Chains A and B, each alone.
Chain A
């Protein structure tokens, strides 16, 4: 049976993991490769690296990092952040990334998703969507969730699927950083709207939140950052808990 996936997300700046990572057994918590290895050993099913730098010089550092991760890690990983061209995707995939996350660039030019899925296959194109519920309506936001657009989350998700997205990474801006649980209602509606896998993001605070996002939110995968980085939730413990709640996971 297909397992639900647990995905730690690492923010990367200048080829280093960003502050706030508090891993007991690591000599250098800023080394993305060491951190990725530790997560893989602890049972992470996949990893997401989000490159939060924008300059060209730092892009080449990111490429080097992607290569080292691919060399040493034997689970799949996605790289996102500032990906806006076919060439940009190609170099990430050639360096060993399994999937590439596209966000703002798809909003600016939706046909990019058609081009990418045609060139590389839809299996490696993850469309990331940041959305916020405003007056009962879920609106897609740009630039890390700071700029609202007119796009409706569900219509946009459907369009992205039609254009060739292989997977969606949905972050609820209402839930992100609040640690009160995932946006399960919107997530389950999203699962009815599209027929591609959905990664839920934003809101993880307790193990029960993960149980809920799989049972009520119908998510295929759950992504979180701080609860894992700060050791508040150990992936091994989380997986035991999910299994005890009859959720199919890889142990």
Chain B
């Protein structure tokens, strides 16, 4: 199976590659359109600031490619947020795959939301064999609102989308590559889709 991790200069993608390595898969880092098109599965990572990340996507012409992919795509953290309609962070227009807005937590809570939090209302093949209220590791200051495509929710200040799905596009706010056994299960589920 050919797994490509989109490498557009945003964030710690080494950890994702190592997580697949632990599952026996040598995931390949690439920003080449041809190579991404040839993949069986595509990981769309991202850590950092939304508007800068979107600029980097545009530079590699990946902003127009990603929403047209027919393979299973998994957006992680900022990658998931960039697949949404719009982010308050840097007033960034998203790729519009997930029909929700990305907003900032208020200062009623500590920001960033950092650490292990539970996920609920799990409803996708991406999440099979992961028990309700499993803990996943997250670090983020912005969240995707709840919408029709929400397949898991989490709570911090309010209820937000911990995971989203639209056809072959999946997104998780947390870091499965850093979420111990349940995170590994999620990555394995993604490979099994």
The interface of chain A, by Cβ under 8 A from chain B, is 1-5, 40, 45, 70-72, 74-76, 93-98, 120-124, 166-167, 195-197, 220-221, 250
Q: Mark B154-193, 1 if CB is under 8 A from A, else 0.
A: 0110000000000000000001011111011000000000
Is the pair B18, A195 in contact by a Cβ cutoff of 8 Å? no
Say yes or no: B177 contacts A74, CB within 8 Å: yes
Query: Contacts A40-B180, A197-B110 given: A98-B116 contact, CB under 8 Å?
Result: no
Select which of A74, A120, A221 is within 8 A of B115 by beta carbon. A221
Q: Are B110 and A74 in contact (CB under 8 A)?
A: no
Question: Is the C-beta of B49 less than 8 angstroms from some C-beta in chain A?
Answer: yes
Main secondary structure of the interface of B (DSSP, over half): mixed
Question: In the assembled complex, how far is the CB of residue A144 from the closest CB belonging to chain B, in whole angstroms?
Answer: 25
Given contacts A2-B113, A123-B112, A123-B139, contact A76 B14 (CB under 8 A): no
Q: Mark B100-118, 1 if CB is under 8 A from A, else 0.
A: 0000000100111111111
| B19 and A1 contact, CB distance less than 8 A | no
Let me know if B14 and A2 touch, CB within 8 A: no
B15 touches A1 (CB 8 A): no
Chain B residues packing against A (C-beta within 8 Å): 11-12, 14-15, 18-19, 21-22, 47-49, 107, 110-118, 135, 137, 139-141, 155-156, 175, 177-181, 183-184
Chain A interface helix/strand/loop/mixed = loop
| Contact with A121, one of B15, B48, B115, B179 (Cβ below 8 angstroms) | B48
Given A1-B117, A74-B179, A93-B12, output 20 extra A-B contacts at Cβ < 8 Å. A2-B116, A40-B180, A45-B116, A74-B22, A74-B177, A74-B178, A74-B184, A75-B137, A94-B12, A94-B14, A95-B14, A98-B139, A121-B11, A123-B47, A123-B139, A166-B112, A166-B114, A197-B115, A221-B115, A250-B116
A residues less than 8 Å from B180 (CB atoms): 40, 74-75
CA distance A250 to B22 in the complex (A): 23
- B171 CB to closest chain A CB (Å) equals 18
In the complex, A76 Cα to B115 Cα: how many Å? 9
Question: Inside 8 A of A45's CB, which chain B residues have their CB?
Answer: 115-116
Contacts of A95 in B (CB 8 A): 14
Q: How far is the CA of A123 from the CA of B46 in the complex (A)?
A: 12
Measured CA separation A45–B114 after assembly (Å): 11
Which of the residues B12, B117, B140, B177 comes within 8 Å of A3, measured between beta carbons? B117
Can you list 15 A-B contacts (CB < 8 A)? Answer: A1-B155, A70-B18, A71-B18, A74-B181, A75-B178, A96-B12, A98-B15, A98-B139, A122-B112, A123-B139, A166-B114, A166-B139, A196-B111, A197-B115, A220-B110
Shortest Cβ-Cβ A-B pairs, 9 listed:
A250-B135, A123-B139, A121-B48, A250-B116, A3-B116, A96-B14, A2-B117, A76-B178, A71-B18
**Could you tell me if B114 and A167 are in contact, using CB atoms closer than 8 angstroms?**
yes
Would you call B47 and A124 a contact (CB within 8 A)?
yes
* Contact A197 B14, beta carbon cutoff 8 Å: no
Q: Are B14 and A70 in touch, CB under 8 angstroms?
A: yes
Q: Which of A98, A196, A197 contacts B178 (CB 8 A)?
A: A98
Chain B nearest CB from A29 CB (Å) reads 23
Q: With contacts A3-B115, A74-B177 known, is A120 near B48, CB below 8 A? A: yes
Contacts A1-B118, A196-B110 given; does A74 touch B183 at CB 8 Å: yes
For the complex, what is the distance from the CA of A3 to the CA of B156, rounded to whole Å? 11
B residues in contact with A221, CB < 8 Å: 115
Name which residue of chain B comes closest to A67, CB basis.
B14
Q: What residues on A are CB-neighbors of B48 within 8 Å?
A: 120-121
Q: Chain A residues near B22 (CB, 8 Å)? A: 71-72, 74
Q: How far is the CA of A196 from the CA of B105 in the complex (A)?
A: 12
* A120 and B179 alpha carbons, distance in the complex (Å): 21
Is the CB–CB distance between B178 and A3 below 8 Å?
Answer: no
B15 touches A70 (CB 8 A): yes
Q: Which residues of A contact B139 (CB under 8 A)?
A: 76, 98, 123-124, 166
How far is the CB of A77 from the nearest CB of chain B, in Å? 9
Q: Give every chain A residue within 8 A of B11 (Cβ-Cβ).
A: 121
In the complex, the answer to whether B135 meets A197 with C-beta atoms within 8 Å is: no
